[in-house]
Structure 1
Amino acid sequence: MSIGEGMDTGYVTARGKGFPTIRQFTVFLENRVGQLMEVIRRFEGSKVRIVALSINDATECAFVRFLLSHPEQGREILERAGLAIIESELIGVELPQTNQPLLEVCTALLQAEVNIVQAYPLLIRPHGQPAVALMVDNLDMAMSTLNAKGFSMIHEADLADED
């Protein structure tokens, strides 16, 4: 028997959970004309596409949140630009084809006592369905609840171009 063989360490890595999370990049920009365009232009000529965008404006700065088709390459581009960024994990949920799809998602999360912190729509339809990106206060509970209720989740790979 080799060292460690047959032993369960009990460790789980953040990326090793197998959950279909998607990465959000938050960029802090000076609140000046043209700053957003400068950041968006940095992706020009790369395979990185912005698949969701949210902007929160304040007096002195703006917080721009991106979901990117190729997050690893996108992070490199943002870091090379010297931008202050924060990386967070969100869940992507396909909206069911019902009269009130957001109500169904919110109801499922409320029943599990999961709070939605941020939400915004995806600019693309990964499987031909509308979808939203959600930042929640309990990622594990939200994922297991939505999966148990039959919602389809979006993986980062679903955001990449279908070349």
Structure 2
Amino acid sequence: MLLNDDDENGHLGTGFATAHGRDWPSVRQFNIFLANRMGALLKLVKQFESTDVQVVSLNVVETADCAIIRLLPSNYERAYELLTSGKFPFTESDLIVVKLPDDNRPLLTITKALLGGEINIHYAYPLLIGVGPMGSTALAIHVDNLENAANTLQNQGFTLFNEDDLAC
């Protein structure tokens, strides 16, 4: 992928760094705040299911009064529009999405690699669909230092995905 360099035809590349202000692969997660009421999650899911935007991953953190729904969409920009038009209160955060390695202990392999880089994992959850051109199984991870985590994993041969890889 080009990072603000001319391509072979002399066209200026608009790489990942320009589009998102960073040069490591990551995805944007929506943190949606819902009242802890019957049907609140259904309303949110219906907002997406009636469109071409797929929910790639979903995690629910419930408390007595409210729930935080962590959601990865197949199309970030379109999901932003849907949440805004639906008047859902939300914030955004960056995650690393890493392909599960082809061994018999993929979670151990990933967590050991991050520990070796002194990276703290805040939370992690699996994706509901295959990611990338091969439909790979993957894990979304929120860490304390995204850039160091990405460098650590890439230096050890892990495959990281970006938002384009989530498009269905």
Task: Give the TM-score of the pair, scaled to structure 1.
Answer: 0.88
The answer as to 2:108 corresponding to 1:111 is no
Mapped partners of 1:158, 1:128: distance in 2: 9
1:154 aligns with 161
Q: Deviations over 1:56-106 (max 9, x none)?
A: 110000110100000111011101111110100000000011010111110
Mapped partners of 1:110, 1:37: distance in 2: 37
Query: What is the CA-CA distance between 1:128 and the residue it aligns to?
Result: 2.8
The 5 Å alignment of 1:36-55 reads 36-55=41-60
Mapped partners of 1:35, 1:121: distance in 2: 23
Identity across the alignment (%): 43
Q: Which of the numbers 72, 91, 105 marks the counterpart of 2:96?
A: 91
1:8 aligns with none
Q: Which runs of 4+ in 1 moved over 2 A?
A: none
The 5 Å alignment of 1:4-153 reads 15-126=20-131, 127-153=134-160
Number of aligned residues: 150
Task: Give the TM-score of the pair, scaled to structure 2.
Answer: 0.85
Query: What is the CA-CA distance between 1:18 and the residue it aligns to?
Result: 2.5
Mapped partners of 1:141, 1:14: distance in 2: 20
Q: Deviations over 1:34-71 (max 9, x none)?
A: 10010111113321110000001100001101000001
Mind listing any 5+ residue stretches in structure 2 that lack a counterpart?
1-16
Q: Deviations over 1:86-130 (max 9, x none)?
A: 100000000011010111110010011100011000001113321
Q: CA RMSD in A?
A: 1.4
Mapped partners of 1:14, 1:27: distance in 2: 24
Residue 72 to residue 28, structure 1, CA distance change in 2 (3 Å): same
